[in-house]
Chains A and B, each alone.
Chain A
């Protein structure tokens, strides 16, 4: 912090400009965070309804009939309602939680500070990006309230189900239109966000902040922004074509001679449902990395900080992030082994899929190498980062099974896949968010979270999610199909009902213990002890500014960076951590 004061910017006056239509990246980051928090509870509620119904398919629930007078007439949900809950659970979780919080929430708040900038490169665009996301969420939730209710076609919206209109099911009228519209709006918001993330990282780094001195979090946010930029553009194009098939009568995805519900659809011919799958998964696979990469960045940051050791193999980590991002665009076909693709294509996609195992393993080994011999501090944030590694490995190993075409043909439509993607994309990413929350909360709100509540929450959640999702792999191997609303009438699945009951109880339990987190979050916001500037003795730039940081982050001072991001326990140094802004002489051997 050696530069003279240039010009401190001050926050605008007035509640609306300051907290609602704010241009401050920190406020926008918090807005995204709470949008995600709201969404995750909706998504979780939907999953509990599904899990309840699966083990009590005939029990009448009075309030369900009030919520859905037609779809749950008599208090028992129809299979169509189950499918619409499944669709909305997946959509809300993937887009408005996994895509939104790690990148737009934490990234927005921390990226400019970590690279020593006053704000994002385009603050107005940043504000528009948030409010566009908000609009997308409103449109998505509105799908519940239109005639016929929410769509049934899953978060992947496969045609012909998603394209043929009302004839394919109750939610396939206006509900599906709103779904596509919401996703299109979300694509626009994501584009605006990506422009900001990339321009900011490329052009606004402070003096001395070379690319190879950026914290790994910044690397993951950068690569995630590039993936979002290229992926969401393709999803937008696909969404436009799907909407035209529904509203303008075109035939991009609808073939001739379809018979649905005893009706022949004569208006369409020649289209290809597979075309949608290709376009969708060209976006959909990078989307998986959009969800998980920022969690990897946070995990790297935390394992190094709380082991008091430099990250093992910083450069290898950067190249691994870049190769995961690149390979992510070459493997979309592994979601389509069931589509009857040429076995040679399947082999190519399978081989490329195995290749992603290499950078993933590099990351895992480097995390273990970072922990090895470290002075590990088991803070709540660290526990969640360790939990992330555990879930990433568990979910990754089942991915190796699914990447084999011969095995995938058997597993694809079973619970094995549900277990796999919930472990690696859902829960691992959520653990990354929890880790980020406990780590950065003191900086964001100037108060500490309660560690005891945090640890109770961690252990119960960790046990809970393994209890929910591990049995799914067993169910899948036993042949239990996914996307079905009930199994009680299927003889060969009868023996598996107790497993489903166990998972449902585990889901109730895990959902309930999230209340501990909510209490901790809001209690700490108001009553938590004041946070010092650098509670974790960490090295990166956000820990050089007050908690919470001033409006322009550095109060007009331009930081100068002299060190890498993870200089812990440097031999001969005065303390066990060297801030990035410390003078070069802080490292005795360097000069």
Chain B
């Protein structure tokens, strides 16, 4: 100890190994309390656990509600969902390319790729809004049928998560375009990218749920 912990190692290579006796030395970061990469990732995984529980609860309600009743009529799914899925997958891939360009030190290319990934994320949300409009025009509302109730609840909850993710992506993008991405902020890049990939996987899961059981 003694030297300020977080600046003595390259944050992109991860934190220093823990002292032999366990414990992390309270980080000792001089630039703010606990602003450590490791804690940020712990927080991210804790958040993902909570989100997983929310969707697990919805899924169990879905399974029970479907299994117990005879009033379940499958809701026609708007075909635009497949386009949206491709857009979302593309956004994840583009963000991953952006992270690789940053790793090889090409800052300006990173900015372009990250901006593109962010825009694709926003485009996905627009696509989801179109899907809802299509359902609305077809006269399918929340209360129409249990399957439409669950469709709206699950897509809305996913979209709500996505709004949080997009806020993070935009924040990183603003920092990147201002060329103020110091080493500490690269944690924000990694955390928001992992969160975004999680939302990707979540959406694939929801698509399977809708098309197999919905």
Contact = CB atoms under 8 A, between A and B. Distances in A.
B160 to A, nearest CB: 10
B33 A118 contact: yes
Given A195-B46, A202-B42, A9 B33 contact: yes
B36 A203 contact: yes
A233 B50 contact: yes
Given A122-B34, A240-B157, A244-B153, A252 B1 contact: no
A248 B156 CA distance: 14
Given A121-B39, A241-B61, A558 B143 contact: no
A194 B143 contact: no
Contacts of B2: 3-4, 6
B191 to A, nearest CB: 12
B17 interface: no
Interface string B9-27: 0000000000101111111
A208 interface: yes
Contacts of B72: 270
B142 A244 contact: yes
A207 B19 contact: yes
B57 A123 contact: no
Contacts of A232: 50
B186 to A, nearest CB: 18
Interface in A102-158: 116-123
A202 B40 CA distance: 11
Contacts of A269: 71
Given A195-B46, A252-B61, A200 B39 contact: yes
B49 A200 contact: no
Contact of B153 (A118, A200, A240): A240
B68 interface: yes
Contacts of A209: 22-23
B43 interface: yes
Main secondary structure on A side of the interface with B = loop
B4 interface: yes
A210 interface: yes
A204 B34 contact: yes
A10 interface: no
A244 B148 CA distance: 12
B58 A237 contact: yes
B143 A249 contact: yes
A207 B19 CA distance: 7
Nearest to A244: B142
B168 to A, nearest CB: 14
Question: Which of the four size classes fits the interface of chain B?
Answer: 35 or more
Given A3-B2, A240-B157, A116 B43 contact: no
Contacts of A249: 142-143
User: Taking each of B24, B72, B157, which has the highest tally of chain A beta carbons within 10 Å of its own beta carbon?
Assistant: B24
A272 interface: yes
A272 B65 contact: yes
Contacts of B24: 203-207
Interface string A217-256: 0000000000001101110111011001000111110001
A208 B142 contact: no
Contacts of A98: none
Contacts of A4: 1-2
B18 to A, nearest CB: 9
B34 A118 contact: yes
Given A240-B153, A252-B61, A206 B71 contact: no
B64 interface: yes
Contacts of A251: 71, 143, 146, 149
A297 B12 CA distance: 38
A483 interface: no
A271 interface: yes
Contacts of B26: 116-118, 204-207, 558-559
Given A198-B46, A233-B54, A210 B21 contact: yes
Contact of A229 (B19, B39, B46, B55): B46
A194 B50 contact: yes
A200 B61 CA distance: 33
A1 to B, nearest CB: 12
A207 B146 contact: no
Given A234-B57, A240-B157, A200 B34 contact: yes
A198 B49 CA distance: 12
B57 A237 contact: yes
B28 A122 contact: no
A283 B155 CA distance: 23
Interface string B172-186: 000000000000000
B45 to A, nearest CB: 9
Interface in A244-289: 244, 248-252, 256, 267, 269-272, 275, 278-279, 282
Interface string B135-152: 000000111001001000
Interface in A161-220: 191, 194-196, 198-200, 202-211, 213
A139 to B, nearest CB: 19
Given A118-B33, A122-B43, A206-B26, A272 B53 contact: no
User: Taking each of B38, B53, B143, which has the highest tally of chain A beta carbons within 10 Å of its own beta carbon?
Assistant: B53
Contact of B47 (A116, A123, A195, A237): A195
A275 B46 contact: no
Contact of B50 (A6, A123, A230, A561): A230
Contacts of A591: none
Contact of A278 (B43, B47, B49, B64): B64
A230 B57 CA distance: 10
B37 to A, nearest CB: 9
B51 interface: yes
A52 to B, nearest CB: 40
Contacts of B61: 237-238, 241, 252, 275, 279
Interface string A80-118: 000000000000000000000000000000000000111
11 contacts: A198-B43, A203-B34, A205-B24, A229-B50, A233-B57, A234-B53, A250-B142, A252-B65, A252-B146, A267-B143, A270-B72
Interface of A: 3-4, 6-7, 9, 23, 116-123, 191, 194-196, 198-200, 202-211, 213, 229-230, 232-234, 236-238, 240-241, 244, 248-252, 256, 267, 269-272, 275, 278-279, 282, 552, 558-559, 561
Given A282-B57, A561-B21, 18 more contacts: A23-B33, A119-B34, A120-B34, A121-B39, A199-B46, A200-B39, A205-B22, A208-B19, A210-B22, A229-B50, A230-B53, A237-B54, A237-B55, A248-B149, A271-B146, A278-B64, A279-B57, A558-B28
Minimum-distance CB pairs A-B, first 9: A210-B22, A249-B143, A233-B53, A237-B57, A270-B71, A270-B69, A121-B34, A119-B33, A203-B39
